[in-house]
Copies of this chain bind each other. A is one copy, B any other.
Amino acid sequence: MSGPIAEAKQFLRDLFDAAVAAADPARCLPPFLPAPPRGKMVVVGAGKAAAAMARAVEKHWQGALGGLVVTRYGHGVACDQIEIVEAAHPVPDDAGLTAASRILELAQGLGADDLLLCLISGGGSSLLTLPAAGISLADKQAVNQALLRSGAAIGEMNCVRKHLSAIKGGRLAAAAAPAQVVTLLISDVPGDDPAVIASGPTVGDPTSFADAREILRRYDITPPETVRAHLAAAAVESPKIGDPRLVDCVTHLIAAPQASLIAAAQAAEAVGMQALILGDAIEGEAREVGLVHAGIAQACARHGHPAAPPLVLLSGGETTVTVRGKGRGGRNGEFALGLALALDGNERIFALAADTDGIDGSEDNAGVLVTPDTLARARRAGVDPMASLAGNDAYSLFAAVDDLVVTGPTLTNVNDFRAVLIL
């Protein structure tokens, strides 16, 4: 296949690859490695990218090191000196609990000349689960579920989590004192706040036990008795910003959605294509976000606003899918199908939507491509696009027209990536 459609698809794929490459630990981590300490170098970490980050550390580190990181099942890579543990995500299992406990012990064993290098990425919150003494995992999860149902904001949920944990909310860094602590972060959250990513195990906590109790009251949540007693006792407060135990802590954001969008924009501009970044934290119901992107793209084509074609619109962030049907596909497929239906065959517009972690939902594809004839080709293949969307079955449609983007797990995660090309 060749010609302008193939060229447009290849261009979009190149942009996606540039976005993922910018977040690849092998590339973005080495510049942030600290100087070797006089004492021991211990590496810990958690997240979907933790093993890939550990490997990048090993490859570029001069001297001895050891440690342990926990990543999701299937996200491990071979390391020589750092132990890689795989555990369950998003619901924690015993493997994760044991790993978190061992990570805390590693930190507690350090002295003033030692260095704790902490590798944190998306998914780290559930992979690094360690309930505070006296609280069972089941009780902690019951509170978590109640918070999720309550409509509490993410900041409020994190406050409660940090006060039910033995390792989050700066507790890991406090345990490592007086050692130096360097945290390398890959962000997949809006705002890239280090205190939010994986509930900030090495970052001073702006919240308190009193806040946590107030949040449960606000949302009328009656916690299990062990949790109530723990919050009431307020025995070991999380370390605050300015806590002397956190003096020797630094945090570097080594990859983030915006940085990957900028890398994609630069890749576009390198071949003479203008790029407009709409935002790195665009959220909402996937098909509706697709509609809005279509509206903006059509305004470019028709009026030259917000920018005149040819250009590519870029956006990141995590959409959601309200599942109503029994079909296959993730949020990027659903975004793309909503977009394609709204564009209705516009001959000047192409798109790619994919998850930078390489897996859109639970299928084998990272995402999908949209061309002007996507709907027409789907219908010729016997697929009704409206019915596909109604049935949450975008994967099947894009598979039928052979426009899946397949990468396999990328071992990093800066959330979703979308590119809409207007010629």
A interface residues, Cβ below 8 angstroms from B: 151, 153, 190-191, 258, 261, 276-285, 288-289, 291-292, 295-296, 298-299, 302-303, 305-306, 315, 317, 342, 344, 386
Q: By the criterion CB–CB under 8 Å, are A295 and B282 in contact?
A: yes
Q: A277–B304 Cα gap in the complex (Å)?
A: 9
B291 touching A283, Cβ below 8 Å: yes
Q: How far is the CA of A303 from the CA of B261 in the complex (A)?
A: 11
User: Would you call A277 and B299 a contact (CB within 8 A)?
Assistant: yes
B284 lies within 8 A of A296 (CB):
no
CB neighbours of A258 from chain B (8 A): 299, 302-303, 305
| B residues in contact with A151, CB < 8 Å | 386
- Residues in B with CB closer than 8 Å to A317 are 295
A341 to chain B, nearest CB (A): 9
Which of A281, A283, A299, A303 counts the most B-chain CB atoms under 10 A from its CB? A299
- Residues in B neighbouring A283, C-beta threshold 8 A: 291-292, 295, 342
A191 — which chain B residues lie within 8 A by C-beta? 302
Q: A153-B344, A191-B302, A302-B191 are in contact. Are A284 and B291 (CB under 8 A)?
A: yes
How long is the Cα–Cα vector from A21 to B165 in the complex, in angstroms?
58
Residues in B neighbouring A278, C-beta threshold 8 A: 295-296, 299, 305-306
Chain B residue nearest to A300 (CB atoms) is B279
Known: A283-B291, A284-B295. 13 other contacts (CB 8 A): A190-B295, A190-B298, A276-B305, A276-B306, A278-B305, A279-B295, A279-B299, A280-B305, A282-B299, A288-B289, A289-B291, A295-B317, A306-B306
Given A153-B344, A302-B191, A344-B153, A295-B276 contact (CB < 8 Å): no
CA distance A276 to B303 in the complex (A): 12
What is the bound-complex CA distance between A48 and B310, given in angstroms? 37
Q: How far is the CB of A25 from chain B (nearest CB, A)?
A: 23
Complex CA distance for A302 and B253, rounded to whole angstroms: 15
Assess whether B306 is in contact with A280, with CB atoms less than 8 Å apart: no
- C-alpha spacing A285/B284, complex, angstroms: 10
Let me know if B291 and A279 touch, CB within 8 A.
Answer: no
CA gap between A292 and B315 in the complex, in Å: 11
Q: How far is the CB of A151 from chain B (nearest CB, A)?
A: 5
* 27 sample A-B contacts, Cβ–Cβ < 8 Å, listed by A number: A190-B295, A191-B302, A258-B303, A258-B305, A261-B305, A276-B305, A276-B306, A277-B299, A277-B303, A278-B296, A278-B299, A278-B305, A279-B295, A279-B296, A279-B299, A279-B305, A280-B299, A280-B303, A281-B299, A282-B292, A282-B295, A283-B291, A284-B292, A285-B285, A285-B288, A292-B292, A306-B306
Name the residue in A151, A284, A317, A342 with the highest tally of chain B Cβ atoms < 10 Å from its Cβ: A284
Please, how many angstroms separate the alpha-carbon atoms of A305 and B258 in the complex? 9
Cα separation A291 to B288 with both chains bound (whole Å): 10
Top 6 closest A-B pairs, CB basis? Answer: A279-B299, A288-B288, A284-B291, A282-B295, A277-B305, A284-B288
CA distance in complex: A280, B301 (Å): 12
Q: How far is the CA of A181 from the CA of B281 in the complex (A)?
A: 51
- Of all chain B residues, which has the CB nearest A344? B153
Q: Which residue of B lies closest to A261 (CB)?
A: B305
Measured between C-beta atoms, what is the minimum distance from A423 to chain B in Å? 18
A308 shortest CB reach to chain B, Å? 12
Closest to A155 in B: B344
**How far is it, in angstroms, between the C-alpha of A302 and the C-alpha of B296 when the chains are bound?**
21
The interface residues of chain B lying within 8 Å CB-to-CB of A303 are 258, 277, 280
